[in-house]
Amino acid sequence: MKENLKANNSLSGTNSYNGIDLIKLICSFLVCVVHVPPFAESFSAGDEINFWLQNCLARIAVPFFFTASGFLFFRKGGLYNTEPDRLKGYCFKLLRLAGLWYIILLTTKTVHLWYFGAVITAVIILYLLTKKKIKLKYIIFIAAVLYCIGLLGDAYYGVFEHLKAFTPIKLLSLLYENIVGGTRNGVFFGFLFVLLGALFAHKKIKLNKFIAAAGLIVSFAMLFAELYILRKYIGIQKYNIYISLVPLEFFLFYIAMNLKLKDSIFYKRIRAIGVLMFCMHLAFNRYVRYAIKALNYIAGIDLSAFHFIIVILVTAAASVVVVRLSEKEKFSWLRYMYS
């Protein structure tokens, strides 16, 4: 998510991947959906709609961020020729950004900031494997095995429960979960998608646009079907890692990368706005909740049904203000909030 936010002196310039920036903004909005239920409890079908929006549709966001990060990092220098200084600079910028937001959000939730550490981990693993000159087919195999383990620790935890009948596996599971907390990280989740993005940078992939669109539609259908089966027949506790996300992200990223959008400062701005929305939305969610409760208590006006809309509007407005101010020399330091 962060790689293509270059810390330069302006948001102007050219960018061949405006489609990626556009989809990343949409994905930032979807991350907000994951954490803030769009429909109020008073709406009769609200809980069920929220379930599918939050645990199915919106789950395409983070894998897309991983894929974009892998593509944008490895497109310069190539998969097997990336310079160590580039890795150091990339990790430093992400750590600086994450550290800043941990400080800013000190009194609010920071659960979403796990992403920064995960993408650093995934990029470092791939970088080290390529520096060891491990063949690409073996790297793909390693990524697939790690992802399968990630599935068992996440959406397919119900399947893994049966494997715990074997004492050694149960002990290893308890040890890992108590230390790390799950498989939603850069090793078992992010690595495969970072590799996918790197493959887009490493190889020329050409698809018929109708095949790409059909592949995306079928993959979405597979995602809904997969969650339905897991929910009804297997049991599901976590909603992050699905099998169908792999083909879905492949087709989605291919379409995003090949969208022909005319260069404009608009795309430079939405790139930054997306990062800010991702980082700020939980803080505004908390403050909006307090404001709605206070208004209801003082004036008897209940705006709880509009909670999600207010959070999105306030977060988007604040993000735009930060970006526009950062373009002025006097407030250029605000760029550190998104780059």
7, part of any domain? no
Asked whether residue 3 is domain-assigned, the answer is no
pLDDT value of residue 170:
61
Domain that holds residue 60: 18-337
In a domain, 2, yes or no: no
Give the Cα-Cα-Cα angle 132, 137, 141 (nearest 5 degrees).
Answer: 95
The predicted structure's pLDDT at residue 7: 40
Q: Which among 334, 294, 290, 326 is positioned nearest to 311, based on CA atoms?
A: 290
What pLDDT shows up at residue 174? 58
Per-residue pLDDT tens listing for the chain (339 residues) = 544 444 443 444 445 689 999 999 999 999 999 999 999 877 888 899 999 999 999 999 999 999 999 999 999 878 998 899 999 999 999 999 999 999 999 988 899 999 999 999 999 999 999 999 999 999 999 999 999 999 988 999 878 776 656 656 666 665 566 566 789 999 999 999 999 999 999 998 999 999 999 999 999 999 999 999 999 998 888 999 999 999 999 999 999 999 989 889 999 999 999 999 999 999 999 999 999 999 999 999 999 999 999 999 999 999 999 999 999 999 999 999 999
Q: Is residue 74, in this structure, part of any structural domain at all?
A: yes
Domain count, the chain: 1
Please check whether residue 5 lies inside any domain of the structure.
Answer: no
3-state secondary structure the chain: CCCCCCCCCCCCCCCCCHHHHHHHHHHHHHHHHHHCCCCCCCCCCHHHHHHHHHHCHHHHHHHHHHHHHHHHHHCCCCCCCCCHHHHHHHHHHHHHHHHHHHHHCCCCCCHHHHHHHHHHHHHHHHHHHHHCCCCHHHHHHHHHHHHHHHHHCCCCHHHHHHHCCCHHHHHHHHHHHHHCCCCCCHHHHHHHHHHHHHHHHHCCCCCCHHHHHHHHHHHHHHHHHHHHHHHHHHCCCCCCCCCCHHHHHHHHHHHHHCCCCCCCHHHHHHHHHHHHHHHHHHHHHHHHHHHHHHHHHHHCCCCHHHHHHHHHHHHHHHHHHHHHHHCCHHHHHHHHHCC
What does the pLDDT look like over 247-260, one tens digit per residue?
Answer: 999 999 999 999 98
Q: Please give the pLDDT value at position 16.
A: 67
Q: Is residue 11 part of a domain?
A: no
In a domain, 8, yes or no: no
pLDDT of residue 13: 43
Predicted confidence at residue 12, as pLDDT, reads 42
pLDDT of residue 95: 97
Q: Please state the pTM of the whole predicted model.
A: 0.91
Supply the pLDDT for residue 186: 96
